[in-house]
Structure 1
Amino acid sequence: MNPAMLTVIKLGGSVITDKSKPYTVRSSNLKTASAALAKLYGEGYDIVLVHGGGSFGHPTAAKYRLHEGGLSPEKVRGFSETRYWMTKLNTLVVEHLLRLNVPAVSLQTSAIAVNSGGKLSRISLDVLREMLARRLVPVLYGDAVIDLSRGFSILSGDTLAARIAVELGAKSLVYVMGAGGVYSKPPGSPDARLLREIAENDVLTVGGTHGVDVTGGLREKLAEAFYAAKNGVRVCIGGVNFIEKMVKGEEAPYTVVKA
């Protein structure tokens, strides 16, 4: 693995699924993202892919209120169901990559990460490192995980991607989201403009998300993005059509996160 050629890419749940329709994939976006990853892989990039839950994970996790914790029979059932649906979505993502000869391998997030108090407590990246050393593309995802104090809780893909990028010393971290970047006001507002750069002390009006999202939406994404940027990772947030340009640092309409 060459850190200078290592990129961590987070595909937002709203990009690859229709969050207004439970268990519905946005096939065109998934194909676009897969094609970009196939090209980057062919050019020698080492890739870790993380995807969100979208309309697969979030509705079930919200139904059982897993973010609140607890060990009741209902919570145990909810953990199991959420894991099932995330595995289904992950299989579809891996399938799209395999069609393009990308050696994608599913890596179950809840098998390598543990939360405490709703926050990531520890993660083992040994297997992931060995996969990268063999030119595999690990595919992880936001997941319901064991929580040492609450029983169960949610580990968002945004947090997972940032932690992996920092611990592996990745060159870049790319957040792909449906809005195509960070805006001065909620996208769709008459005077909303795409912010080409964003720093932690910038004053923003950050809008909510469409559909059900139990992971904190854009606010959490920005917090994780700033964390990675402060630790030397080049971080970008943008749309699915600009994945390659964000990874390579080329000019395009997306947001660059400054430390």
Structure 2
Amino acid sequence: MTKNIKILKVGGSVITYKNKDSELNIHVVKQIAKDIFLWLRKNKSNQLIFTAGAGSFGHPLAYKYQLNAESLQKDPFGFVLTTTNMQNMANRVAKIFHYFKVPLFPIMPSSIFMTNKGRIISAYIDTINEALNRGLTPFLWGDTVIDRSHTFRILSGDQINPYIVENLKVKELYFGTNVDGIYDSDPLKNHDATQIKKINDDNYKSILTSISESGNLDVTKGMRGKVEEIHRIKVRPLKCIIFNALIKGNTYKALSGQKVGTKIKFE
């Protein structure tokens, strides 16, 4: 049977309350877990790798201890506090998914990834592949990791996903966010913002200049960083959907191929 493997990354602003320290948006996590269960049940060939942003479990601590700063030496205590808090988030998310009969398998990124100057240089991803072979749903998240040049560094889920895509040859990526897709300005601040329905090789550069970065306390680059990381992926053709995961049923619709959000396709 040919596997239909997809990667779904849900933003920290979706599954957590980003303005409240370490608080999970339980209602939304339940919605997403149910949608994933329904999609997995729809066809036995369907398989998913689930990743999540750090949200309020990771960004405030990473900011406090300057874990993404250019300084070579960082506080090891700040590192362990942050990565342990991310494990706490992962365990809470996993329990909700297990209630909905999704075999979510947390894999701690700080234990399998190493970076140099913030970019992945090594990873043990056989665990992810073998988990899929055994019918599990691998779960990774934005984390702090050991960095060869800067002691510790933040590893965003938006960088983890491309690495997995290239190594496992996945051709479909899905991003659940707190807005309906990509806009020419921040729709949460500008009510006149216009949604961009499609991004491709022809309009990528012009659209990138208009995409705003996140306005929240976010030590990654928000939406612009997400699109840039997608474009760096070497796998072609590559299909990505960016959609609003706060809306009930949208995760199922996106994974099932129904029209939601912004479609990105690079040939």
Contiguous gaps of at least 5 residues in structure 1? none
Q: Is the 8 A contact 1:19 1:210 kept in 2?
A: no
TM-score, structure 2 normalization? 0.90
Q: How does 1:73-222 map to 2 (within 5 A)?
A: 75-188=75-188, 189-199=190-200, 200-203=204-207, 204-222=209-227
Matches of 2:215 and 2:31, distance apart in 1:
22
**CA positional deviation for 1:163:** 1.6
**What is residue 228 of structure 2 aligned with on the other side?**
223
Residues 33 and 229 from structure 1, CA distance in 2 versus in 1: closer, same or farther, beyond 3 angstroms?
A: farther
Matches of 1:218 and 1:63, distance apart in 2:
22
Name which of structure 1's ranges 224-233 and 162-171 shifts more when overlaid on structure 2.
224-233
Residues 124 and 232 from structure 1, CA distance in 2 versus in 1: closer, same or farther, beyond 3 angstroms?
A: farther
How many residues of Structure 1 are paired with residues of Structure 2 in the alignment? 256
Matches of 2:233 and 2:254, distance apart in 1:
15
Instruction: After superposition, give the CA deviation of every residue in 1:161-180 in whole Å (9 maximum; x if it has no partner).
Output: 12212321224110111122
Between Structure 1 and Structure 2, the one with more helix by share is: 1
1:235 aligns with 2:236: no
Matches of 2:76 and 2:86, distance apart in 1:
16
**CA positional deviation for 1:70:** 5.2
Instruction: After superposition, give the CA deviation of every residue in 1:9-64 in whole Å (9 maximum; x if it has no partner).
Output: 00100000111111111112111111111112212311110101000001001100
Q: Is the 8 A contact 1:166 1:233 kept in 2?
A: no
**CA positional deviation for 1:71:** 6.4
Matches of 1:2 and 1:154, distance apart in 2:
35
**What is residue 30 of structure 2 aligned with on the other side?**
31
Contiguous gaps of at least 5 residues in structure 2? none
TM-score, structure 1 normalization? 0.93
Q: Is the 8 A contact 2:14 2:28 kept in 1?
A: yes
One-letter code of the match for 1:56? F
**What is residue 7 of structure 2 aligned with on the other side?**
8
Matches of 1:211 and 1:22, distance apart in 2:
13
Runs ≥4 in structure 1, deviation > 4 angstroms?
Answer: 69-72
Name which of structure 1's ranges 136-145 and 236-245 shifts more when overlaid on structure 2.
236-245
Structure 1 vs Structure 2 CA RMSD: 1.8
Q: Is the 8 A contact 1:35 1:100 kept in 2?
A: yes
% of aligned pairs identical? 29
**CA positional deviation for 1:209:** 2.0
Matches of 2:122 and 2:236, distance apart in 1:
18
One-letter code of the match for 1:52? G
One-letter code of the match for 1:63? K
